[in-house]
Structure 1
């Protein structure tokens, strides 16, 4: 419990630093939100621009704006969107579910298939399957996410039009709850695959290396000498220890998953936070962009804490209370 509280306190301090840094970087970037808002109205005079800046507090000194923003964040107020004229928290919560669905599906796909491929490759390190996994891992890791998404879009939109390549569900969908779940699942296949491929490649190589190392350990040879079935040796004795570095990398890569989701959601028009962040950048909608970055950072911090706690479940011998 003490360890958990210490980790949570550190996470809060980290989030505070992220909020301050993001605010300063975004406000110092070129571009005038007032001009963008005025442009949506077809242009405006200097008086109107000044009125817009006053309404949204853009006329105040930067440090004053930062102080106001931090005090609002502490109260749970992330501000109001310049473009939608709605609370930022409402906009983000409406997009949070699709992003979590996409990220978790991609993470699950990457870990399950990556570990499975790595385990199979480790059984015969010099065999064909091991070489195949190495090639696939290299290609998957080297291919940019947006390129993979565009190639899959071309493949399944033009050559083999069997999967939807846009949106989260069909625009004119009519059906019950179960049919809707299936419809969303079909739309999720390509985005989740695109986002998960690069991480699948990393997990496969990591699982292969970890399993080769563990399978050569003394306790594994002892288990084999006692006549323990090979499947039990591999999946109970070896994999349980080899999975620890995979859990570490999975937690550390969660931030990359969130950032990769921005590109994937843009390519497939997935209605998540990544798409909202992309549109907010184009519109200079600072409050929404800051809100998306805040929620993304919070998700990464929570993922890292859960990763640390999962160590205890994977191996009870680890004393998390004594770790720094």
Structure 2
């Protein structure tokens, strides 16, 4: 019965996702069309001077660059409907293959940073609110205000300078040790190369969730039921667990899932700083070198990633607070 009630919600979300992907792809396709980057030169690269006019014309014909933008977009949509996103100009491989390989690396990076920033941010916000105007609250707020105004790439460079250059305890960049084959890479090596990018993403994401949780919990501590519980002798963790957790969990989850877009944007910068071979780095390369098929694939993947995050937030509401279910009455 519970699954049947979710069918209308799933249909609405599916239709919304389809319309979103159509709008995002159309806008992105037009922006790429008006871009000053020459796709033929981006495709050929440094050998552009060796390409004859006949060869250039053959490349233009192969990619259909003489066709109007709407015609090329329609052909791209037809190919997309059959599961074909085209071939990457940079990597000379199917776009789906490149995205699958890069997204797996980015997903591990973003997932670890998302969990770490959410847990530390929520706990920090609770500690700050429970110790309002004390030294713990002051330190947490100082940290949040400082980090929220600090660019992600600067944090990455600072962490690299301290832990990789000065202390030498962590690798400078990349996802695996340089000069090693895939069969020689151990799981510990991958973890060590992920530490600095994950820290870069997480330390900047802690501030928003911590400050938001602090303010929400302070509002809760001024409610009558909280004051009545304190008058009965409840205090500390027991008081928060019984009367504060659910009231601050929903806003925290909302903000955390809404940060998917910021997380992806931060991953682009972090992957560039640490030369981490993820989807963000592929997006930058595709944009700079005019790889239209790969860029369109990355745009769709990022839009899907953010939309799924918001949908997961809606499902979390139903699990945490039954009053959020459709048809329920307060």
TM category (shorter chain) comes to over 0.9
Whether the aligned pair in 2 keeps the contact of 1:35 and 1:49 (CA below 8 Å) is: no
Name 1:7's counterpart in structure 2.
13
Whether the aligned pair in 2 keeps the contact of 1:95 and 1:272 (CA below 8 Å) is: yes
Deviations, residues 277-313 of structure 1 (Å, cap 9, x unaligned): 1121222111111111110110111111011111112
Deviations, residues 124-163 of structure 1 (Å, cap 9, x unaligned): 2111111111111111110001111111111112211111
Residue 185, structure 1, aligned to residue 191, structure 2: yes
Separation (CA, whole Å) in 1 of partners of 2:35 and 2:285: 16
Match of 2:244, SS state, is helix
Whether the aligned pair in 2 keeps the contact of 1:141 and 1:197 (CA below 8 Å) is: no
Separation (CA, whole Å) in 1 of partners of 2:182 and 2:84: 37
Whether the aligned pair in 2 keeps the contact of 1:309 and 1:320 (CA below 8 Å) is: no
Name 1:307's counterpart in structure 2.
313
Name 1:57's counterpart in structure 2.
64
Whether the aligned pair in 1 keeps the contact of 2:155 and 2:200 (CA below 8 Å) is: yes
Name 2:3's counterpart in structure 1.
none
Change in Cα spacing, 1:32 to 1:252, as seen in structure 2 (3 Å) is: same
Match of 1:317, SS state, is helix
Deviations, residues 60-98 of structure 1 (Å, cap 9, x unaligned): 111100111111112211111122221100110011111
Q: Given the two structures, how large is their TM-score scaled by the length of structure 2?
A: 0.91
Separation (CA, whole Å) in 2 of partners of 1:167 and 1:244: 37
Name 1:96's counterpart in structure 2.
103
Cα RMSD for the two superposed structures = 2.1
Q: Given the two structures, how large is their TM-score scaled by the length of structure 1?
A: 0.93
Whether the aligned pair in 1 keeps the contact of 2:43 and 2:291 (CA below 8 Å) is: no
Separation (CA, whole Å) in 1 of partners of 2:90 and 2:182: 33
Whether the aligned pair in 1 keeps the contact of 2:165 and 2:172 (CA below 8 Å) is: no
Equivalent residue runs for 1:241-320 within 5 Å: 241-320=247-326
User: Offset at 1:317?
Assistant: 2.1
Residue 210, structure 1, aligned to residue 216, structure 2: yes
Name 1:154's counterpart in structure 2.
161
Equivalent residue runs for 1:165-244 within 5 Å: 165-171=172-178, 180-228=186-234, 230-244=236-250
Whether the aligned pair in 2 keeps the contact of 1:3 and 1:320 (CA below 8 Å) is: no
Name 2:23's counterpart in structure 1.
17
Name 1:117's counterpart in structure 2.
124
Deviations, residues 29-54 of structure 1 (Å, cap 9, x unaligned): 11111122233334223222111111
Change in Cα spacing, 1:127 to 1:6, as seen in structure 2 (3 Å) is: same
Larger deviation, residues 231-240 vs 290-299: 231-240
Q: Point out where structure 2 has 5 or more consecutive residues left out of the alignment.
A: 1-5
Match of 2:186, SS state, is helix
Separation (CA, whole Å) in 1 of partners of 2:173 and 2:234: 50
Aligned length: 322
Of 83, 107, 112, which residue of structure 2 is paired with 1:76? Answer: 83
Residue 46, structure 1, aligned to residue 56, structure 2: no
